[in-house]
Structures are given as C-alpha cells and as structure tokens.
Amino acid sequence: MKQQIVKKETLKKQVYEYLREEIITGGFAPGERLVEEKIAKQIQVSRSPIREAICMLEKEGLVTVNKGGGVAVFSPDIENFQYLYECRVVLEPLAAYYAAQRITKNQIEDLRRQLIGIDAQPLGLKEILEMNTKFHEGIVEASRNPFLIRMIEQIRGINSLYRIAILKQNMLRMKSAIQEHIQIFEAIERGDADKARECMEKIHEQFLLSTRA
C-alpha cells in the first residue's frame, strides 16, 4: 500500500485525513499498532507530521497512546457502542428526512453508484465499509443542514470503529442491510421524506438489536 501525499494543504492535515480515513474504513484494524516509520514510508512524508496527526486522532478518540509512546487504533467496547448508536439512530433518520426534500440529481446518482458497488460483486469488509460510509455520508450531505452535518461528523469516526468490530462478528447482518439501504435510497429518490426517515430508523434499530443478540 503506497500513497503519495500531494502538498495542497498542510502536511499535518493531509496525513491526519489519510490516517483517519484508513481507520474508519478498516484499513487499520481496531487494536492495530501505528508505526510512524512504516507510515512515513507508505505515504512518503517525514515522521513529524505523522506525530502531529496522531495527536489530532488521539483527541478524537480514534487512537490510544500508551506511556511508552506506542500508538494503536482504539479498540471499541461493545457496551459503550450502544450509547453512541442511540445518538446516530436519531440523527441519521433526520438527515434522511431532509435529504429526501433537498437532494440534487447529481447526489442521487452518487448514492446509486454506491449501492450498485456494494451489491455488484463479492467484496471484502474494507470495501463494503468504504462504500457504506460514502452512502451514509452522501445522505447526510444531501440534508444540506450544516449543524446536523457537523453533529454527525463528530461521531462518525468513533462510530465506524464500533461498526467494524460488530460486522466482523456478524457478517450476515451486513448482507441483510443491503436491501434496507435500497429502500432508503428509493424513498429519497422519490422524495418521500417520512418513508426515508422510517427506513433509516429501521436499519439503525436492527443493527443495534444485532449487537445484543
């Protein structure tokens, strides 16, 4: 895995965004050590911006730093996940409700592509998580409510870590969720705000229940 960082923004921000995306899509697994030297070689930067990015990730709760300086991806606790998901089960249905009223044609096509990608071929956990994340992000963005977008963004990273841990234990739940995602998309596409919210509530409630099984 080799990625060239293009110096458009500060290196710290670019490295932070790269590491964050890898963490929340499963590129780095929960509990996995982050080795500065290895990352520096992969993305071709010095270790200084990596250390700065790790500090940002630590504040966000995505990594833990032990007393010896070792860094690892946060390993989630399933019980605490339920409290976090109780927030998401309220916020994302609200985003779906407004997305059904405000989504653009281009955004609809973007969502369609994510669904086709998820359902078209056998994919690994990382690929499915990436597409699933983009699908949900697309709906949130389509709500065009900056305050709602910001609130969901604040919990997205840590929520993704919990989601990865649970899906690894319950792959059947991931497969059954595809049809539910299609129902959300169809409701948004036809502008049925109430149905979009209802379908989004259902997918989150079912997922939450699956953690208690």
Percent above pLDDT 90 for the chain: 45
Distance separating the N- and C-terminal Cα atoms of the chain: 36
Predicted pLDDT at 11: 86
Q: How far is CA 13 from the centre of its chain?
A: 18
Residue range 123-179, pLDDT digits in tens: 666 677 777 788 989 999 999 999 999 999 878 777 777 766 666 666 555 666 778
Which three-class secondary structure state does DSSP give residue 97? helix
Predicted pLDDT at 172: 56
Distance CA 29, CA 93 (A): 28
213 has a pLDDT exceeding 60:
no
Spell out the alpha helix ranges (H) of 61-124: 78-102, 105-120
Cβ contact 203:178 at 8 Å: no
CA pseudo-torsion sign 78, 211, 22, 98: negative
Cβ contact 201:89 at 8 Å: yes
90 has a pLDDT exceeding 80:
yes
26 has a pLDDT exceeding 90:
no
Cβ contact 72:64 at 8 Å: yes
